């Protein structure tokens, strides 16, 4: 078990009707807030009006910036930074899913910084934030876990680089999670979210630290719960309890609790190779991040498992109840991966690149751009290409 620091200070306000508290919670953050959101859905379903009413009732001055796209873009982040500086904004409120939150975090990092905000992003970051504007969140999509996480993923349109930036300071001060807000999500978005949260646990589970039994078991329990909840929400999308458990699962999966003591001696929890391999796909081809993970994680597993056989056997046995004879551990692992793919298919997610119209045209270029990836299993350029080929 590795040394670690765990400091997730986000106040999580969870449950029915909790968005009504956004005014009083935001009032604690500052005097003038940037209300940051995506497309029209929060207006269509009335959430926008409720948030504005709550802010006004609490006497919070605000300006707004909508238009956050999936795979949120650097250009809008820069626009937000300029706007906040011009208007004297001192805190940011994201209303939406992971994209709105990640964009809000990048703005919060950029406003007090003299240089360019992109300095904080990418594998070879030029700088770390010294101070950030405080951030609040009203979450509408259970998926990314950005509502309490310490990082943000932004796409730079110049070269379509999709990169992460992290800092202990970008965890939101509060996160409001009302599962009722997720009833209106199309199933495909819910399914993408399920793949994303499962991947967040998987990335932490596959780490090169032995003997982190407590964290292992929490991860396995979290994955089993997500595997149970996914098909339930497909069958019964208006079931509050299923929606609520799924929303809490998405938050937990990326808040850090499920990664403590495992892989933390290298400064971050887990592997993150599959995320690194997926990011250029969603950046270049515009596929959903969750769909890309459903394709790439099984391929990654097939490529790396032989080097970590006991760990993958434990995964197949404890998470997927594979009870094949121990005399053939490869068969146990491959059955586990098969069940993972079967789960994604049940969620109507793709499990091959061909299903989303991606061929091998950019494999070499992308692999060169991102290599090496992975903390648990390091993949060089040729390995990354091989993983992409396994996913065709």
Task: Select the span of 11-19, 117-125, 152-160, 187-195 touching a second copy (CB under 8 A).
Answer: 11-19
Cα(99)–Cα(144) distance, integer angstroms = 8
Per-residue interface string for the shown chain with a second copy, residues 184-223, x marking contact by CB under 8 A: --------------------------xxxxxxxxx-xxx-
Query: Measured from the CB of residue 130, what is the shortest distance to a second copy in angstroms?
Result: 16
User: Minimum distance from CB of 217 to a second copy (Å)?
Assistant: 4
- DSSP class of 95: E
Residue with smaller CB distance to a second copy, 167 or 252: 252
DSSP E strands: which ranges in 151-269? 151-156, 161-166, 174-177
Strand partners, 153: 164
CB nearer to a second copy: pick between 195 and 218? 218
Q: Between 224 and 362, whose beta carbon lies closer to a second copy?
A: 224
Determine, following the binding rule CB under 8 A, whether residue 12 of this chain makes contact with a second copy: yes
SS3 310: helix
18 binds a second copy (CB under 8 A): yes
> Does 229 engage in binding with a second copy (CB under 8 A)?
yes
Binding pattern to a second copy, positions 22-61, x when CB under 8 A? ----------------------------------------
Closest CA to 259 of 130, 375, 154: 375
Residue pair 254/204 in contact (Cβ under 8 Å)? The answer is no
Q: Which stretch binds a second copy (CB under 8 A): 95-103, 245-253, 322-330, 336-344?
A: 245-253
Beta-strand relationship, 161-166 and 151-156: antiparallel
Under the binding rule (CB under 8 A), the answer on residue 231 touching a second copy is no
Give CA separation, 363 vs 164, 330, 372, 379, in Å. Answer: 21, 28, 14, 14
Q: Tell me the C-alpha to C-alpha distance, in Å, between residue 339 and each of 18, 283, 333, 343.
A: 37, 28, 10, 6
SS3 239: coil
Three-state secondary-structure class, residue 162: strand
Q: Figure out which of the listed residues 45, 62, 113, 240 binds a second copy, where binding follows CB under 8 A.
A: 240
- Residue 9 in the binding site for a second copy (CB under 8 A): yes
Size of the site for a second copy (CB under 8 A): 44
Integer CA distances (angstroms), 169 to 14, 80, 132, 165, in order: 22, 19, 7, 11
Q: How far apart are CA 352 and CA 255, in angstroms?
A: 29
What is the distance in angstroms between the CA of the first residue and the CA of the last residue of the chain?
37
CA 66/CA 41 separation, integer angstroms: 11
Residue 225 binds a second copy, judged by CB under 8 A:
yes
Q: How far is the CB of 59 from a second copy (least distance, A)?
A: 23
Q: Does 3 engage in binding with a second copy (CB under 8 A)?
A: yes
121 contacts 159 by C-beta, under 8 angstroms: no
Position 16 contacts a second copy (CB under 8 A) = yes
Instruction: Report if residue 20 touches a second copy, rule: CB under 8 A.
Output: no
Q: Is 266 in the site for a second copy (CB under 8 A)?
A: no
Q: Residue 224 interacts with a second copy (CB under 8 A)?
A: yes
Q: In this complex, which beta carbon is closest to a second copy, that of residue 13 or of residue 277?
A: 13
Cβ of residue 316: shortest distance to a second copy, in angstroms? 17
Site of interaction with a second copy (CB under 8 A): 1-16, 18, 210-218, 220-222, 224-225, 228-229, 240-242, 244-245, 248-249, 252, 257, 260-261
């Amino acid at each position: 078990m590795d040394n670690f620091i765990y400091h997730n200070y986000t106040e999580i306000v969870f449950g029915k009707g909790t968005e009504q508290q956004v005014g009083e919670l935001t009032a604690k953050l500052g005097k003038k807030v940037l209300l940051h959101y995506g497309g029209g859905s929060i207006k269509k379903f009335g959430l926008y009006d409720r948030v504005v009413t709550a802010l006004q009732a609490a006497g919070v001055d605000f300006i707004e910036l909508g238009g956050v796209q999936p795979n949120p873009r650097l250009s809008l982040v820069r626009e937000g930074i300029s706007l906040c500086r011009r208007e004297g904004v001192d805190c940011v409120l994201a209303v939406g899913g992971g994209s709105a939150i990640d964009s809000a975090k990048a703005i919060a990092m950029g406003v007090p910084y003299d240089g360019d905000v992109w300095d904080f992003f990418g594998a070879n970051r030029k700088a770390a934030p010294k101070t950030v504007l405080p951030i609040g969140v009203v979450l509408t999509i259970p998926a990314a876990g950005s509502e309490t996480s310490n990082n943000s993923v932004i796409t730079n349109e110049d070269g379509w680089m999709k990169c992460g930036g992290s800092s202990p300071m970008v965890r939101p001060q509060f996160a409001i999670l009302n599962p009722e807000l997720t009833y209106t999500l199309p199933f495909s978005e819910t399914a993408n979210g399920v793949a994303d949260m499962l991947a967040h646990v998987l990335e932490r589970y596959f780490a090169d630290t032995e003997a982190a039994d407590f964290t292992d078991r929490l991860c396995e329990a979290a994955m089993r719960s997500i595997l149970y909840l996914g098909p339930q929400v497909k069958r019964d999308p208006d079931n509050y309890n299923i929606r609520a458990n799924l929303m809490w699962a998405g938050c937990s999966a990326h808040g850090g609790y499920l990664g403590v003591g495992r892989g933390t001696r290298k400064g971050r929890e887990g592997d993150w190779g599959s995320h690194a391999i997926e990011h250029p796909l969603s950046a270049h081809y515009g596929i959903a991040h969750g769909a890309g993970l459903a394709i790439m994680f099984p391929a990654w597993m097939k490529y790396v498992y032989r080097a970590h056989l006991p760990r993958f056997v434990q995964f197949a046995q404890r998470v997927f109840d594979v009870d094949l004879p121990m005399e053939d551990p490869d068969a146990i692992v491959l059955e586990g991966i098969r069940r993972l793919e079967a789960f994604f298919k049940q969620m109507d997610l793709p499990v091959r690149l061909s299903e989303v119209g991606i061929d091998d045209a950019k494999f070499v270029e992308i692999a060169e751009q991102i290599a090496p990836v992975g903390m648990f299993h390091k993949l060089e350029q040729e390995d990354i290409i091989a993983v992409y080929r396994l996913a065709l």
